[in-house]
Structure 1
Amino acid sequence: MDIKTETLEQFYERTRQHIPKEMQNNIGGAHFNVKRRCTVNRVAPYNRRDYYKICLVTGKGVHLSNNKETLIEKPAILFSNPSTPSSYQALDEGQGGFYCLFNDAFFSSGLKNEIKYESPLFNDSLQSVFILNDDDLIRFSRYFTDMEELLEGTYKFKYDMIRNVLQTLIHEGIKLQQPGQIKSINPADRLSSRFFSLLDQQFPVDSPSNPLQLTMPSAYAERLNVHVNYLNNLVKRTTGKTTSAIIHERIIAEAKILLLNTNWDAAEIAYCLGFDYPSHFNKYFKQYASTTPLLFRETLKMASN
């Protein structure tokens, strides 16, 4: 069975929603959204995603994850790990609740790795669906309405506040885990955790004089004392993405952040991201962002005016 990976753009197209303006401008590569669920009479496709999703579900339905079906007949909270194939089928028209979705660029450094490992949002070996009692439903609904109000507001630090609510929501999910469910980390999980920890340590880039040290899978494999093929196979198995793709995503996301938030010229950004020549950076950026760095920056300036 060929399991595809759905992008954020494909999600909005599939659900017939307008792609948010800030996403069209691709500001910083970061994205967050929160919506209310409505009547759903179709089956969401069984696939992986390149984004995280948390759903507060009311109404009857069936959640399929890793070929395991869970019948939902009472209010529930669902945590969707991007690397885990999943889908949802509504069984009645009384669908309600909320969902929020966000990508790595929005929440890349929001939690410690040891906390992530205990959350089903980041650890696909954990239970990801939880039935809620009345008090739980009220509390979780409040988190979503808080994020909804913040997103619609004009406070200039609203996304920082949303990240704080998201962190609380993730911690609440950890608290719902059954005692003893967190398993000891096997060697493969430990290596995967070390890879992402090492990747996180490279960012953010805070100075042109402090360039990235690790930009290739082979460099990470050498630092982790494993063969690059072993690392590639492990990362692909646990995330659905290649090591190169994950590294490229972080570099492009950082490039966009630097273009948006600094006055560094393209040559300085190219150097600090590990490129020997600005022309190499321009070609690389255009390959993954479908535009040049300078045109990307100019587009952002025009959008903000």
Structure 2
Amino acid sequence: MNESTNSHIPLLSTITEFYRAFGIGTPQSDQFSVMRIEDQPMDKRRLMPLFRSNFYRLILFTSPGVEFMDSGRKLSSSGNSMYFAYPGKLESWQVIAPVVHGYAICFTAEFAQLDPQAGDFATRFPFFRFDTDNLSHFSAPESEPLETTAELMLAEIKNPTAERFDILKHLLHIYLLQSRRLFKECEDCKSAEDQRAALVHARFLSAIDNQLERIARGLSDEQPTVASIAAELNLHPSYLNDLLKKLTGSTASSIIQRKIILEAKSYLQNTELQVAEVAYQLGFTSANYFSRYFKQHAGSTPNSFRRA
């Protein structure tokens, strides 16, 4: 998907735009920023609708309280977990706890001197791949080195000397290496079957995106179904459903439903399209059917959701 065909999904091109959209103030720069999550304003946006960004983020949680809803399932942060985001990643989340503790680090590829096109990029930074879980959990002792490095970055970014950004680049590199070590330890614990399931899940989500994009472009009027996506992936629908249920706890059809609702919410929040036009963009045969579908799965009518 891209911005031109999916204007209902904002592209936050800079760190400043992200801070403004989330309601968390002003970053230290548009190349790099670091902050304690508990220091974010209390009136920040607690429900972040679908968006994409043009930079990287590493979010270290030292307390639970955030649910990520961008991947067809809800992923909940724990007391010791890290969320990884990369340019172009489709994201949405909801802050559940009154106060969440941890560290949020944003940076551009240029600042970190990353080359996503390099042949070894996926090996060096496996947590920035689309086909891996972007939320890893680990123990408190394992998170301590990351917390120490984050505090060093917080102290250094306040330093007025000209060398501070050079030092921050080195500290960020250390942070990325520490994150990779923990991520690889988590991945190594997964069986070959679980790794295959994760890959199929990623391909399944990508197929939903592609089919919805075709509808939005006017190239198709067929909504994604378990059968159509299974055929695209050369898998039997029952096998696909069983695999996703075991991995995510949700059926394939439930994942499709949640994805459609997320897209619908984004249209309603970020465009002025009439409900009937939103229904058409998502492949529904009528506005009434779309309204019933939305109320069944979102708990309110489209118009009530838009006014909230």
State TM-score, norm by structure 2.
0.50
CA drift of 1:95 comes to 0.7
Q: Which residue, 158, 176, 179 being the options, matches 1:152?
A: 158
Contact 2:34–2:104 under 8 Å retained in 1: yes
2:176 alignment partner in structure 1: 170
8 A Cα contact 1:76 1:130, kept in partner: yes
Shift of 1:151: 0.7
Please tell me whether the aligned partners of residues 115 and 121 of structure 2 are also in contact (alpha carbons under 8 angstroms). no
Calculate the aligned-residue CA RMSD, in Å.
3.1
The aligned residue for residue 51 of structure 1 is 55
For residue 72 of structure 2, the aligned residue among 64, 67, 74 is: 67
Work out whether 1:122 is the aligned partner of 2:128. yes
Paired letter, 1:147: M
Q: Secondary structure at the match of 1:160?
A: helix
| Residue 151 of structure 2 corresponds to residue 140 of structure 1 | no
Extract unaligned runs of 5+ from structure 2: 1-5, 200-308
Distance 1:120 1:76 in 2: 16
> How far off its partner does 1:4 sit?
2.5
Matching of residues 12-23 of structure 1 within 5 Å: 12-19=19-26, 23=30
Mapped contact 1:120–1:128 kept (Cα < 8 A)? no
Percent identity of paired positions between Structure 1 and Structure 2: 13
Q: How many residues align?
A: 178
CA separation of 1:121 and 1:18: change in aligned 2, threshold 3 A = same
Q: Corresponding residue for 1:35?
A: 35
* Cα distance change, pair 68–82 in 1 and its aligned pair in 2 (3 A): farther
Q: Does residue 1:11 correspond to 2:15, yes or no?
A: no
- 1:99 equivalent among 96, 99, 104: 104
Query: 5+ unaligned residues in a row in structure 1: which ranges?
Result: 24-30, 187-305
Q: Once the 2 structures are TM-superposed, how far is the Cα of residue 120 of structure 1 from its aligned partner?
A: 4.3
Shift of the 129–72 alpha-carbon distance from structure 1 to 2, 3 Å rule, reads same
SS of alignment partner, residue 89 of structure 1: strand
Mapped contact 2:54–2:86 kept (Cα < 8 A): no
Q: What is the DSSP-based 3-state SS (H/G/I as helix, E as strand, rest coil) of the residue aligned with 1:171?
A: helix
Q: Shift in Å at residue 43 of structure 1?
A: 1.3
Following superposition, the deviation at residue 129 of structure 1 comes to: 0.9
Would the alpha carbon gap of residues 161 and 115 (structure 1) be closer, same or farther in structure 2, given more than 3 Å must change? Answer: farther
Q: What letter matches 2:132 in structure 1?
A: L
Matched-pair contact (CA < 8 Å) for 2:146–2:179: no
Partner SS for 1:48: strand
- Distance in 2 (CA, whole Å) between partners of 1:17 and 1:90 is 13
- Name the stretch that deviates more: 33-42 or 150-159: 33-42
Task: Return closer, same or farther for 1:164/1:149 CA change in 2, 3 Å cut-off.
Answer: same
Distance in 1 (alpha carbons) for counterparts of 2:24 and 2:96: 23
Bigger mean CA offset, 124-133 vs 40-49? 40-49
User: What's the offset of the Cα at 1:62?
Assistant: 1.0
Asked if structure 1 preserves the Cα contact closer than 8 Å seen for 2:127 and 2:180, the reply is no
Retained in 2: the 8 A contact 1:60–1:91?
yes
